[in-house]
Amino acid sequence: MNLLILGGTQFLGKHVVESALEAGHHVTIFNRGKTNEDYFPNVEKRKGDRNGDLASLKEGNWDAVIDVSGYTPSQVKATAELLKNRVKQYVFISTISVYGDFANGPAKEDETALAKMEGESEEITGSTYGPLKQKCEEIIKDQFGHGSLCIRPGLIVGPDDPTDRFTYWVERTARGGEVAAPGEPSRAIQWIDVRDLAQWVIRMTEKRTSGTFNAAGPAGTMDELLRTAKQVTGSTASFKWIEDQTLLEHEVAVFMEMPFWIPRSDSHPDGFIMADAQKAIEKGLTFRSPEETIRDTYHWQAARKDHSWKAGLAAEKERKILQSMDG
């Protein structure tokens, strides 16, 4: 297949390109050319900007476009209209954050209410990210109909993850000592390895599948994640479970300072955002073992140099929280 990938040099985009090339497809990448320019030296690259500079995409025909970098309706509307008569399928990477109801079990594509957009601003914040993606989905479905495929991933993890959320727990556990862990051991969590997602996206594109699919891994617990990370990294860490209220009293930033943590509430009774991926599994979505994801993330992280962490508790703040638990 002849594929156009919008993005392609960061995290999921990088792995989508790698999966497409491994499957023998011809790939063209469109992005600003500012990040990881040395990636994929033998791939055709077109430079531009989703916010107004699409000139390099005015020529060319592709079997499918895979949009990994569309975040606002204006971005997606511009590319969809420009490519409408020159691509057969538009594959859009959305998010499970499009859902507005996580109070009634894992979100389902055809049942769970969607998040509502307040106002017309396209500023991307924690509260607008999901609704903006949902508006993007509407545009793609309107423009491409049965030629549209919208993928709603859960938390994407693994090598090359720039967010540090999953990586923090792998590295922190490996470091050893007493680790402040959120909530209780049975706290539900869910993620998907970036490589499993990327490979499945390519397979779905090859089959010209249309529709909307959640893409999230099997549900697990925080205890399972930390104990597996301890085993894989050979750590001697111990875990102290910190109640939601204590974390809030210490002004721990939800999900960023304490990755994978959302305080339990009526709107988030699981303390996480969960999605039902049965439709995707029936379409061939498969998952590697947690051990493999943790091991590969651990080795990737160990090779990074001069890294400034974007998520996770600072050591001093963690120490103060742990001391407060000792009375």
Q: In terms of residue numbers, what domain contains 243? A: 165-190+218-274+289-325
Nearest-5° Cα angle at 215, 187 to 227: 35
What is the model's pLDDT at position 89? 98
Task: Identify whether 284 is part of a domain.
Answer: no
Task: Identify whether 280 is part of a domain.
Answer: no
Task: Identify whether 67 is part of a domain.
Answer: yes
pTM, whole model, 2 decimals?
A: 0.97
How far is it, in rounded angstroms, from Cα 276 to Cα 284?
15
**Which CATH number covers residue 253?**
3.90.25.10
What are the tens digits of pLDDT across the range 118-128?
Answer: 888 999 999 99
Q: Quote the number of domains for the chain.
A: 2
Same domain flag for 170 and 259: yes
Task: Identify whether 281 is part of a domain.
Answer: no
How far is it, in rounded angstroms, from Cα 97 to Cα 273?
8
Count of residues for the chain?
327
Same domain flag for 147 and 9: yes
Tokens 């910190």 — which residue?
Answer: 242
Mean pLDDT rounded to a whole number for the chain: 96
Same domain flag for 142 and 199: yes
Same domain flag for 95 and 114: yes
129-144 and 73-83 helices, crossing angle to 10°: 20
**Which CATH number covers residue 59?**
3.40.50.720
Same domain flag for 153 and 109: yes
Same domain flag for 259 and 201: no
What is the model's pLDDT at position 289? 98
Same domain flag for 206 and 250: no
What are the tens digits of pLDDT across the range 206-256?
Answer: 999 999 999 999 999 999 999 999 999 999 999 999 999 999 999 999 999
Q: What is the DSSP string of 13-56?
A: HHHHHHHHHHTT-EEEEEE-S-S-TTS-TTSEEEE-BTTTB-GG
Same domain flag for 142 and 234: no
How much is the CA Rg of the chain, to the nearest whole Å? Answer: 20
The DSSP H or E segment spanning 81 is helix 73-83
Same domain flag for 267 and 247: yes
Same domain flag for 48 and 146: yes
Q: How many CB atoms lie within 10 A of CB 203?
A: 16
What are the tens digits of pLDDT across the range 12-51?
Answer: 999 999 999 999 999 999 999 988 989 999 999 999 999 9
Share of the chain above pLDDT 90, in %: 94
The residues, any chain, with a CB within 8 Å of residue 149's CB and separated by 6 or more, are 89, 90, 91, 92, 204, 205, 209, 210, 211, 212, 213
Same domain flag for 12 and 106: yes
Task: Identify whether 123 is part of a domain.
Answer: yes
Same domain flag for 201 and 260: no
Report the half-sphere exposure of 19 (CA within 13 A, side-chain side).
Answer: 22
